[in-house]
Structure 1
Amino acid sequence: MTRRRTTVAALAAAGMALAASATIPASATSTAGPAAAERAAHDRGDDDRGKDRGKRQRLLERWTQDTWTSFEALVVDETGLPDDNIGGDLSPESRGGYTSPTNIGAYLWSTVVARDTGLIDDAEARDRMATTLESVAGLEKHEPSGMFYNWYDPATGAKLDALGEDDPVEPFLSSVDNGWLATGLLLAANAEPSLADEADAVREQMDFGCFYDPEVNQIRGGFWDTDQDDPNLPADDYCSMGSDVWYTGHHYGAFNTEPRIASYLGIAEGQIPAEHYFGPVRTFEPTCDWSWTETDASGEWRSYLGVDVFEGTLPYRGMDIVPTWGGSMFEALMVPLFVPEEEWGPDSWAVNHPLYVQGQIEHGLKEADYGYWGFSPSNDPAGGYREYGVDQLGMDGPGYTSDQERTSVDQPYEGCREGSEAPTEYGDGVVTPHASFLALRYAPQEAVKNLRRIARDFDAYGPGGFYDAVAVRSGQVSERYLALDQGMIMAALGNALDHDSVRGYVSDGAVEDSLRPLMEMEEFGSSGRGPSLGK
């Protein structure tokens, strides 16, 4: 597959500088004011109205270069495995000491973006990916399913049963994390044909059917391959793996969430039936059985491939939107970095994605009045890792909140329960730059403006690009870089600068052949006013 390349090497010559969850100490944060040099650089990069597209492109190129610098620091050269996170100064000593399948996938696709935008040459990209693929082939995995465990040591490749002396973990096989690794492997094979055999040899052993539960037409969150001694966890053998495994007690029941990448890949490989596309719910039907969720939905029933689907939406600020589970940007918009959902689903995703972005923008700028927007799971500037989102854009009753104080909205559920008055104020809102990059396709001017203001108004930009999160009222910044979040930024920039090449590497072929007909037949109930696509 041949892709046009955009050269940004001239910028380098001029000297211009998951989910995986990181447990980050509060000391790794800053409350300092904006750096004058960064403010000047970003003010020069683009005007707020987006009229000068050339300047905006140069700004995107600069962001790509700096974000790639964080991956150069994250990766262990000997193994080609990226660490999960690293400190803001990019010193090797500040690495987290663990990695995940998602992180590895993110490094593979980010390496391709770096090559296709001219930051590294063909030989370096090939060598980097070859080292990574050799290490991945040697990682311990669950042989019957071909799936990988949740944590490994990036320096040795050893499977981890602890992330530190006081943080034991039970080795687990996650459907969504394996989905992102498989995405990286598929992209690497198509982007670098000389490595296709190595990448495909790993990916083709990964059977996503082992997560699929035909009784409910949904996938499980994952499984353990050792007895969990928990009667609530079913021991079963969905795909004839030869031995029992202990599945999570939950399925991924909400459709508009990031685990759909695992569903898509399973359908494309023929491991999961096409009918599964219509198995997860758009919203629950509006009965009191579901009154623990955010609020009652509106919609109608339709049938696709013999599966009855309630095409429900939730109301938010004059819009009707198919929600995510928690209300975060990551859930809704990571998948379309790789799969052109709004192109293949003109009556579904093409309507909903822009509305979802508009909802996030309006929450940040109008409802909560933070002055900034973009809410998604990220580092907590006060320490640790947390889910952030817009409560009303999620199905879950408590939802993910946008501020440190966990200010939520208790909406009524007609005929079932009363709500309470909406909050009159919000606390210290936390925005993460990767959320704006996810919105870049759907609201490019607004996304660039938001990012420039974050860099201008806070000390939020370092040697590896944007730091992971900012608490906008206190000014506290989480000065770390996460491989997952940096990977989303690289994928978004790769699409923006190189004619959707990231999408093309993944979606051409079997993915399009199997999924496009499914997306084309569905009509969501979404409606309202969102940013126009591509403007």
Structure 2
Amino acid sequence: MTTLSRRHLLAGGLAATGTAALGGAVAPLPSAAARARHRSPLRRWAGDTWTSLVAMTDETTGLTADNVEGPVTDPVRSGYTSPTNIGGYLWSTVVARELGLIGRRESRRRLRQTLDSLAGLRHHRPSGMFYNWYDEATGEVLTQWPGSGDRVDPFLSSVDNGWLAAGLMVVRSAEPAVADEAARLLRRMDFGAFYDPEPADHGDLGAGLLRGGFWDAEPPGAAVPGVVPGTDDAVWFTPNYYDTTVSETRIASYIAIARGQVPPEHYYATWRVLPLDRDWQEQQPVGRTRRYAGIDVFEGAYTYRGMRVVPGWGGSMFEALMPDVFVPEARWAPRSWGVNHPLTVRAHREHGLEEAGYGYWGFSPASEPGGGYREYGVDAIGMNPAGYFSDAERTDVDRGFGTVRPGTNPSPTFGDGVVTPHASFLALQHEPRQALANLRKMERDLGVYGDGGFYDAVAVGSGTVARRYLSLDQAMVMGAIGNVAGRDVVRRAFTRGAVERTIRPLIAPERFGAGLVR
């Protein structure tokens, strides 16, 4: 975001800012009267969102539940939490302090309470990693699912530990009073435990990939026996790898590379788009091969509405933009992320407003209106042929794969669109005027706002609201507002030191196949 557009958003103005990477023009700043009429609601939204996170957080342990039902004054917590949920509360607390929602004393008290609980949680000692599910009220590792009693096999997730580590890194830099406690927890976390230098069934990538995670006791179902690298500790790895670049999982890659736990070349081993021989994917990509760090990279992209976009697996905003809350990717890599991020946002906006005609936009995994949880996205910019859909009816877009596979539904009629407010918050740094207007319209017209901020999702046609708050989604809202209204507080804290020294020069040279079709 340009300095002008950031200043403009904070002033509350709604004149067009455009996107420099795409040649957009910046409109004149509005008059004082216009600024007064369009006072930015970001701080109000942040305050209410923080209220929901406080309601989700256990008063004794400082661990944040996965979600909360009911009014925030009398919350019904989920009974479980994850490393991601805890990390989100950590960075949200820093944002709340930066925005003046809480004072320094309260910030330190909250952070210390959570860090003390983390230090006492059962974890996998050889790797320093945390299990995926704990009881937020007791800190016990879950072996039965709350409510159903279903069996839970304790699992250690690379990406969920990545988000916890991200929260610890923000706290370590932003709050000196608890920096040592955060650093101690971080030091014992070794992401090399998830790294496979020779991933099976992926050909000669030139570097390794991160696994989805592992169990430290043999689970039922598919698992790959092995040992944690550098130890004799037996574990059972997931058979899957995180092998695509436009994915929320790249936060774990950034952290592992910055800490010297995996080689830098790992960044270029992930696929920008699936290889051309995977003709089952959503569409036939276009692009060319370039070489970085000794690795041949196919810089492929999908074509959508006059744009070429490097796709995620499901075409959701979360996959593309959550790591961008921590790493200023568009600024550090202007010819790759600096082009693709704005185009991803534009694709969501055009899909919601023009192609599907919902009147609103922004699609990301969230609570399902009517109950449950589901992935939402723009199907056409996701590699998954089964789709992350944008409506309740799961309308599939199938334009085929070149001449190999004809499309079965190239121009569908969409149904009851489901928009997820946190997606528009993630878009603020790339289309500030449009994202702010979209959020204001949602709040005004859709009944999707409560005492804890925006509810998780709304089906815009039926008006059905998912009246639930998810800590991950609320933490994304806090992180995005913190960067826009709090002087890039999350990014400044996360990138200080080794991250900027290692990641910035690593990603800077790349040139994606993204852009406007000429």
User: Do these two structures clear the TM 0.5 threshold for a shared fold by scoring above it?
Assistant: yes
2:131 to 116, 138, 149: 149
Q: What is the CA-CA distance between 1:420 and the residue it aligns to?
A: 1.6
Number of residue pairs matched by the alignment: 482
- Higher mean Cα deviation, 291-300 or 161-170? 161-170
Where 2:214 maps in the other structure, the secondary structure is strand
How is 1:172-211 mapped onto 2 (pairs within 5 angstroms)? 172-211=155-194
User: Is the counterpart of residue 102 in structure 1 residue 91 in structure 2?
Assistant: no
Conserved? CA contact 2:142–2:154, under 8 Å? yes
Q: Which residue of 1 aligns with 2:5?
A: none
- 2:217 aligned residue: 226
Deviations 1:77-117 (A, max 9, x none): 11111111112411445111111100100101111111011
Deviation at 1:508, TM superposition (A): 1.6
Say if 2:340 is the partner of 1:358. no
Q: CA deviation at 1:58?
A: 3.9
CA RMSD in angstroms comes to 1.6
- SS of equivalent residue, structure 2 residue 136: coil
Q: What secondary structure does 2:399 align onto?
A: coil
Q: In the alignment, what sits opposite 1:24?
A: none
Q: Which moved more, 1:320-329 or 1:89-98?
A: 89-98
Mapped contact 2:13–2:35 kept (Cα < 8 A): no
The reply on whether 1:116 has 2:98 as its aligned counterpart is: yes
Cα gap change, 1:229 to 1:477, in 2 (>3 Å): closer
Give 1:498 deviation, angstroms. Answer: 1.5
SS at match of 2:301: strand
Aligned mate of 1:284, from 265, 268, 274? 274
**1:244 Cα deviation after fit:** 1.8
Question: Which region of structure 1 is more displaced relative to structure 2, 414-423 or 50-59?
Answer: 50-59
Amino acid paired to 1:253: D
What residue number does 2:335 align with?
Answer: 347
Pick one of 170, 173, 180 that aligns with 2:153.
Answer: 170
State the 1:487 CA deviation: 0.1
Q: Deviations over 1:235-257 (max 9, x none)?
A: 11241232221111111111110
Quick one: which amino acid aligns to residue 263 of structure 2? P
Equivalent pairs: percent with the same residue? 53
Name the counterpart of 2:140.
158
- The answer (yes or no) to whether the contact 2:144–2:152 under 8 Å persists in 1 is yes
Supply the distance in 1 between the matched residues of 2:422 and 2:244 (Cα, whole angstroms). 22
Distance in 2, matches of 1:411 and 1:115, equals: 48
Listed one character per residue, the Cα deviations across residues 322-379 of structure 1 (whole Å, up to 9, x for unaligned) are 0011110000000010101011101100000000000000110011100000100000
Partner of 1:400: 388
Shift of residue 57, structure 1, vs aligned partner: 5.8
Aligned to 1:64: 46
| Deviation of 1:285 (Å) | 2.9
Name the structure 2 match of 1:40: none
Q: 1:255 aligns with which of 245, 265, 269?
A: 245
Tell me how far 1:306 sits from its aligned partner.
Answer: 1.1
How far apart are the structure 2 equivalents of 1:151 and 1:339? 27
In structure 2, which of residues 91, 110, 113 is the aligned counterpart of residue 131 of structure 1? 113
Q: Using the alignment, how far apart are the partners of 1:208 and 1:120 within structure 2?
A: 33
Give the number of the structure with larger relative contact order, counting CA–CA contacts within 8 Å between residues 6 or more apart: 1
Counterpart for residue 315 of structure 1: 303
Query: How far, CA to CA, are the matches of 2:179 and 2:258 in structure 1?
Result: 18
47 and 336 in structure 1: CA distance in 2 versus 1, 3 angstrom threshold: closer
1:409-438 CA distances to partner (integer Å, 9 max, x unpaired)?
Answer: 112112321112324311111101000000
- CA offset digits 1:11-63 (Å, max 9, x no partner): xxxxxxxxxxxxxxxxxxxxxxxxxxxxxxxxxx9675474456656411111
Matched, 1:475 2:458: no
Q: How does 1:4-15 map onto structure 2 within 5 Å?
A: none
TM normalised by structure 2 equals 0.90
Deviations for 1:361-403, whole angstroms, at most 9, x for unmatched residues? 0110011100000100000011011000000111111220001
Any conservation in 2 of the 1:431–1:471 contact (CA below 8 Å)?
Answer: yes
Shift of 1:489: 0.2
Q: TM-score, normalised by structure 1?
A: 0.88
User: In the alignment, what sits opposite 1:492?
Assistant: 480
- SS of 1:419's partner is strand
Partner in structure 2 of residue 33 of structure 1:
none
Match of residue 57 from structure 2: 75
Query: Which residue of structure 2 aligns with residue 416 of structure 1?
Result: 404
**Alignment correspondent of 1:367:** 355
Asked if 1:432 corresponds to 2:420, the answer is: yes
**Partner AA of 1:191 in structure 2:** A
Provide structure 2 residue ranges, at least 5 long, that are not aligned to the other structure.
Answer: 1-10, 17-29, 200-207
Unaligned runs of 5+ in 1: 1-44, 530-535
Aligned position for 2:233: 243
Question: Within 1, Cα distance between the matches of 2:74 and 2:181?
Answer: 28
Check whether the contact 2:395–2:412 (CA below 8 A) recurs between aligned residues.
Answer: no
Find the aligned partners of 2:38 and 2:230 in 1 and give their Cα distance: 53
Cα distance in 1 for residues equivalent to 2:158 and 2:416: 33
Q: What amino acid is the match of 2:164?
A: L
Give the Cα separation in 2 of the matches to 1:54 and 1:501: 26
Distance 1:325 1:384 in 2: 21
- Whether contact under 8 Å (2:56, 2:75) holds in the other structure is no
Deviation at 1:169, TM superposition (A): 2.2
